[in-house]
Amino acid sequence: MRQPFVAGNWKMHGALERNRGLVADIAEGAAEIDGVQIAICPPFVYLDQLHALLGGSGVALGAQNGCAEPEGAFTGEVAMPMLQDFACRYVIVGHSERRQYYHEDDALVGRKAARAVSCGITPIICIGETLAQREAEATESVVTGQLQGLLDSAGHEVLGKAVIAYEPIWAIGTGRTATPEQAQAVHAGIRRWLGEHDIAADALPLLYGGSVKPDNAAELFAQADIDGGLIGGASLEAASFLDICRAAARVDR
């Protein structure tokens, strides 16, 4: 049985004072929501603050990135063991913004996922196609190609311990969402591919990400293979993030 999971990706947003109110409101609301794993992924510099603010709340902490190397001369990077110091339970790897702006490929993303798992941190691995690829009807081959690249790099054991987030790039931050049917079709394909490659497909949480809002979350989460969401913009406001978490809680599996 897969528990619904909703993770907020704050991206490069936040400020000490503002975080205090936002996290207090989320923690208070989350206490009333049963049966959903909720996580917040702030920028690195706020991990310490959120670690303190979230203590005992049941809301988990995650990071937005982590280095594939354990330590050393890698200026500007943050190592996975450092994330352990702040009790990060999750780390996002391979977000499309990292792939696009920092040229991260599946081989590197797979190595990051493996490093996370070796530190006891669950990687939330992002995959998804561009608009041009969708229009060329290449979505399935792009997504399964990404999965194959990740498997080649990270191996079965690591992929089996990950969360996969399907995020069509054309839906991220654009206000344009995949329809529930479009998203479900890709999620079902991902689950099928995982099963065919001897990865515990039924147990693995598959999240949808891309302009999830309170008014479309319920329909998306009602799909058989969508186990929750990776939420960008709507996670920056407690009311909308909590509404999305409540939508996940209402799903009858």
- Is residue 93 within 8 A of residue 123, CB to CB? The reply is yes
3-state secondary structure of 197: coil
**Marked catalytic residue, from 77, 95, 140, 156:** 95
Selected binder of ligand PEP within 172, 206, 217, 226 (CB under 6 A): 172
Is 233 near ligand PEP (CB under 6 A)? yes
Least distance (Å) between residue 232 CB and ligand PEP: 2
Amino acid (1-letter code) at residue 189:
G
Q: How many helices (H) and strands (E) does the chain have?
A: 11, 8
3-state secondary structure of 9: strand
- Is residue 163 within 8 A of residue 207, CB to CB? The reply is yes
Please give the residues from 115 up to 154 whose contact with ligand PEP meets the rule CB under 6 A: none
Selected binder of ligand PEP within 231, 238, 247, 248 (CB under 6 A): 231
Q: Which stretch binds ligand PEP (CB under 6 A): 14-22, 25-33, 111-119, 227-235?
A: 227-235
Per-residue contact string for residues 180-209; x = within reach of ligand PEP by CB under 6 A = -----------------------------x
Decide if 140 is catalytic.
Answer: no
Least distance (Å) between residue 126 CB and ligand PEP: 7
Decide if 97 is catalytic.
Answer: no
Per-residue contact string for residues 81-120; x = within reach of ligand PEP by CB under 6 A = ----------------------------------------
The helix (H) or strand (E) run that includes residue 193 is helix 180-196
Residue whose token pair is 């391979």:
94
Q: Which residues pair with 230 in a beta bridge?
A: 7, 209
- Is residue 80 within 8 A of residue 93, CB to CB? The reply is no
> In the complex, which residue's CB is closest to ligand PEP?
232
Tokens read off for 111? 């190595």
Selected binder of ligand PEP within 37, 65, 184, 211 (CB under 6 A): 211
Q: What is the DSSP string of 94-122?
A: S-HHHHHHS---HHHHHHHHHHHHHTT-E
CA atoms of 201 and 186, how far apart (whole Å): 14
HSE of 49, CA atoms in CB hemisphere, 13 A: 17
Per-residue contact string for residues 3-42; x = within reach of ligand PEP by CB under 6 A = ------x-x-------------------------------
59 or 212: whose CB is closer to ligand PEP? 212
- Interacting residue ranges for ligand PEP, rule: CB under 6 A: 9, 11, 167, 172-173, 209-212, 230-234
Would you name the residues annotated as active-site residues?
A: 95, 167
